[in-house]
């Protein structure tokens, strides 16, 4: 079964849980395990939170979430048009944060990478960031 969706929402903190719930509903047709569902929701939460906190610095901008199911593979793309990431390699390192004063752990990308099969980050300073995530869901038991 193939399916796709696109959601555009404001970079407000309350929309992080909205994005988590939307992706949960979208992926339910694959009958994911509770662990898979939790991992997907957490990865989306981290990507959306990064856009809210880092891309827009708590200002309001747009976040785009696209998702597509191809067979049993889930593709999730999270885009923002914020300030971008100067050094992606550095940003992907565990514990790296640009907001230490806000007690950020710097584990967002690490969490995404641990819960998804593939994570690719593209960014241009002043233009925004694109996070592409892929997860193959197991067959029904």
Which of 16, 36, 39, 50 is the catalytic position? Answer: 50
b/e sequence 68-105, b meaning 16+ C-beta within 10 Å: bbeeeebebbbbbbbbbbeeeeebbeeebbbeeeeebe
Q: Could you give the maximum distance between any two Cα atoms of the chain, in Å? A: 46
CA-closest candidate to residue 48, choices 74, 25, 73, 77: 77
b/e sequence 3-22, b meaning 16+ C-beta within 10 Å: eeeeeebebeeebbeebbeb
Annotation says 20 is catalytic: no
Which of 20, 46, 99, 102 is the catalytic position? Answer: 46
Annotation says 102 is catalytic: no
Which of 20, 104, 122, 124 is the catalytic position? Answer: 104
Catalytic residue numbers, as ranges: 46, 50, 104
């Amino acid at each position: 079964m193939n399916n796709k969706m696109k959601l555009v929402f404001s970079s407000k903190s309350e929309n992080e849980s909205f994005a988590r719930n939307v992706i949960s509903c979208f992926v339910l047709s694959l009958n994911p395990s509770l662990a898979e569902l939790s991992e997907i929701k957490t990865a989306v939460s981290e990507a959306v939170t990064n856009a809210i906190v880092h891309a827009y610095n708590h200002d309001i901008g747009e976040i785009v979430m696209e998702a597509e199911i191809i067979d049993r593979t889930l593709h999730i793309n999270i885009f923002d048009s914020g300030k971008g990431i100067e050094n992606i390699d550095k940003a992907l390192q565990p514990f790296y944060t640009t907001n230490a004063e806000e007690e950020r752990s710097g584990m967002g990308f690490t969490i995404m990478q641990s819960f998804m099969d593939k994570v690719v980050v593209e960014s241009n300073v002043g233009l925004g960031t694109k996070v592409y995530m892929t997860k193959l869901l197991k067959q029904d038991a």
